[in-house]
Structure 1
Amino acid sequence: MPHFQDIVIQITDLKKSFKGINAVDGINFNVFKGQCFGLLGPNGAGKTTCIEILEGISKADSGSVVFPALPKKMHLNQYIGMTFQHTALPDFIKVKETLALFSNLYPSTLDQNQIIQSCQLEDILHRDVKKLSGGQRQRLLLALALINDPEVIFLDEPTTGLDPHARRDFWTLIESIKQLGKTIILTTHYMDEAHQLCDQIAIMHQGKIIEQGQPLELLRKHFNRSVLNLPIEDITEFKQSLENYGWIFHKQNAELETENLPEAISFLLENHINIAHINIQQRTLDDLFIKLTGNSLND
């Protein structure tokens, strides 16, 4: 795990309400340089409001958002880059022309060839933006977010609607951007995506951060049991001994939840029970979210 020291964003007691409802209710966290920080939560949790405050789109009622390394003479818009979940691009314009158009919006930009290469746009430069596939469009939007050479990049649901292959290609791009030392703030409803990309996550619920930390550390903190599954056809003759050990039988499989995985496996081996088709379930961030909030992140 990378070692992060320099704080890029410092959020202190941030609050924002709408018509008496606390959308953001006194949250605190730091984002460090080179980190991918995931802000997770269902619709209505307050994460979009929080992100809009960090981006300077909305103002907080109270609290503070500080970018310690932001040069005094630099506007925040030059320091950050953004992709939105829904972004409208000009009609009847090609990819290369879109890059040129957005480059003219900033006083200083990255070399276009570098952006084209980093976001793998070489094959679609002369294609109309309306004719791009979902994955191609997301690569273009990422390029536009990088065009001003930002230190911090906000990605709002960047892979929504992409097929699995396109999603994984996009993950590879994000990893390559992290290698450049960029800091990424990610919102996503895909838990495998958060697990793959994020160094830290914060889970929001009803305007508050209810848990925060490294994904693996949080899973270890909240889940100290392993779940084993065996197909019924492999264990029918051993039903009594397995039930005595604590296995629960279902229609197609038997299941055991245990804190001592080596002991459970040893029991199976000592009793000559076939474990060729055993499945050991790993807890996921979605399991964690359900445990903490009672709802799936996708609800």
Structure 2
Amino acid sequence: MAPVVVADDVRKHYGDTVALDGVSLAVEAGEVFALIGPNGAGKTTLTRCLTGTRDPDDGSVSLLGASPGEAAKERLGLLPQDFAPPERLTPRELVAYYAALYDDARDPDALLREVGMDPDVETWYSELSGGEQRRTCVAASLANEPDVLFVDEPTTGIDPAGRRALWDVFEDLADTGTTVFLTTHYMAEAERLADRVGLLADGELVATGTPEALVTEYGGEQYLAVETTADPDALDDLGYEVRREGDALHVVGVPPEAIGDVAAALEAQGVAFDALTWSEPDLEDVYLRLADDPSVVDADEEEVVA
């Protein structure tokens, strides 16, 4: 089956500023693809090129097997980060307004309940909280039950409970075959939702892969932080790499089942410590490492597969 979203060597400039510098990717039907990267990395520009609201200066884009301008609009959903709907409508009126654009739209009340909003609320959109506004907008973007959904920072301004409720919505969409392309600054969001993650830095897609594969390849090793004033040389006999990080020594590569053995060894060697904290890498570690130094990635290893 052909991918439903394709970018091939896409380039975009704004004057002397390079927004996208040869980005290529392909997203399969039913896949959740999360695009992460620092502010200014080109995430919004890439989303706009993929959806046809911006034309690339070079390269090509395909959406549902056609150019974005020719793709069937009734099969697409789009929620931009700067979406500004009519403000003097209640949540139900606003979702109904967008649902009326389609012949076979979903029920506005059901959509609002799905995103955690009360359809009977009579408050104007302009007077809703930021999180309520965003949830209402997500509901509106689902009015046509899209085959492909683009959402740019979908949970910005939403409290943790509301964020998790929307995660359930996106997961249910993917389970029923909807392709979801999202940009996010929340690494936990990308780690939970995405089948694959792409990290964009300085207009280039630095690495793509499953969250697990990216963490394994670029996240670093698990470690035990030992809060102590001791010198790293005092722990030479532990059998692990030891380095100082701030107020702690990091004993690198310690699996969780070996924490007790390390603690016993520290006590046997007379190394005083205040606390032990075991940590393992996650997607945030990958983000911080690659966004700070994209050259870490070898050109032949950009696509990492679990």
2:262 is aligned to 268
Pick from 44, 47, 52 the counterpart of residue 43 of structure 2.
47
Q: Cα distance, 1:191 vs. partner?
A: 1.2
Task: Judge which range, 119-128 or 191-200, deviates more.
Answer: 119-128
Contact 2:116 2:162 survives alignment (8 Å): no
Contact 1:16 1:25 survives alignment (8 Å): yes
Q: Which amino acid aligns with 2:249?
A: A
For residues 245 and 76 of structure 2, the distance between their equivalents in structure 1, rounded to whole angstroms, comes to 52
Contact 2:6 2:63 survives alignment (8 Å): yes
The question of 1:17 aligning with 2:13 is answered yes
The question of 1:256 aligning with 2:251 is answered yes
Query: How many residues align structurally?
Result: 288
Q: Please give the per-residue CA displacement for 1:42-74, whole angstroms capped at 9, x wherever unaligned.
A: 122111111001111011122221124569997
Pick from 277, 282, 294 the counterpart of residue 292 of structure 2.
294
Contact 1:8 1:69 survives alignment (8 Å): yes
2:283 is aligned to 285
For residues 106 and 157 of structure 2, the distance between their equivalents in structure 1, rounded to whole angstroms, comes to 29
For residues 256 and 115 of structure 2, the distance between their equivalents in structure 1, rounded to whole angstroms, comes to 45
* Match runs of 1:135-284 below 5 Å: 135-232=131-228, 242-245=235-238, 246-248=241-243, 253-258=248-253, 261=255, 265=259, 267-268=261-262, 271=265, 273=267, 278-284=276-282
Q: Cα distance, 1:186 vs. partner?
A: 0.9
2:125 is aligned to 129
The structure-2 alpha-carbon separation of the partners of 1:273 and 1:32, relative to structure 1 and needing over 3 Å to count, comes to: farther
Q: Cα distance, 1:214 vs. partner?
A: 0.6
Q: Which amino acid aligns with 1:78?
A: E
For residues 3 and 71 of structure 2, the distance between their equivalents in structure 1, rounded to whole angstroms, comes to 18
SS state at 1:271 partner? helix
The structure-2 alpha-carbon separation of the partners of 1:239 and 1:174, relative to structure 1 and needing over 3 Å to count, comes to: same
Structure 1 vs Structure 2 CA RMSD: 3.4
The structure-2 alpha-carbon separation of the partners of 1:140 and 1:227, relative to structure 1 and needing over 3 Å to count, comes to: same
Q: Cα distance, 1:132 vs. partner?
A: 2.1
The structure-2 alpha-carbon separation of the partners of 1:224 and 1:293, relative to structure 1 and needing over 3 Å to count, comes to: closer
The structure-2 alpha-carbon separation of the partners of 1:144 and 1:70, relative to structure 1 and needing over 3 Å to count, comes to: farther
For residues 76 and 129 of structure 1, the distance between their equivalents in structure 2, rounded to whole angstroms, comes to 29
For residues 20 and 269 of structure 1, the distance between their equivalents in structure 2, rounded to whole angstroms, comes to 56
SS state at 1:43 partner? coil
Q: Please give the per-residue CA displacement for 1:94-148, whole angstroms capped at 9, x wherever unaligned.
A: 1221122112223442233442343333454433222323332222111110112
For residues 14 and 60 of structure 1, the distance between their equivalents in structure 2, rounded to whole angstroms, comes to 6
Q: Cα distance, 1:253 vs. partner?
A: 3.8
Contact 1:23 1:207 survives alignment (8 Å): yes
For residues 42 and 68 of structure 2, the distance between their equivalents in structure 1, rounded to whole angstroms, comes to 30
**Percent same amino acid at aligned positions?**
28
Q: Please give the per-residue CA displacement for 1:261-291, whole angstroms capped at 9, x wherever unaligned.
A: 3795474266385999632212122221222
Q: With structure 1 as the length reference, what TM-score do the two structures score?
A: 0.82
Contact 1:13 1:26 survives alignment (8 Å): yes
Q: With structure 2 as the length reference, what TM-score do the two structures score?
A: 0.80
Contact 1:70 1:79 survives alignment (8 Å): no
Q: Cα distance, 1:205 vs. partner?
A: 1.4
Contact 1:247 1:254 survives alignment (8 Å): yes
Q: Which amino acid aligns with 1:256?
A: V
For residues 115 and 245 of structure 2, the distance between their equivalents in structure 1, rounded to whole angstroms, comes to 48
Task: Judge which range, 116-125 or 148-157, deviates more.
Answer: 116-125
The structure-2 alpha-carbon separation of the partners of 1:252 and 1:292, relative to structure 1 and needing over 3 Å to count, comes to: closer
SS state at 1:42 partner? coil
For residues 110 and 276 of structure 2, the distance between their equivalents in structure 1, rounded to whole angstroms, comes to 48
The structure-2 alpha-carbon separation of the partners of 1:67 and 1:86, relative to structure 1 and needing over 3 Å to count, comes to: closer
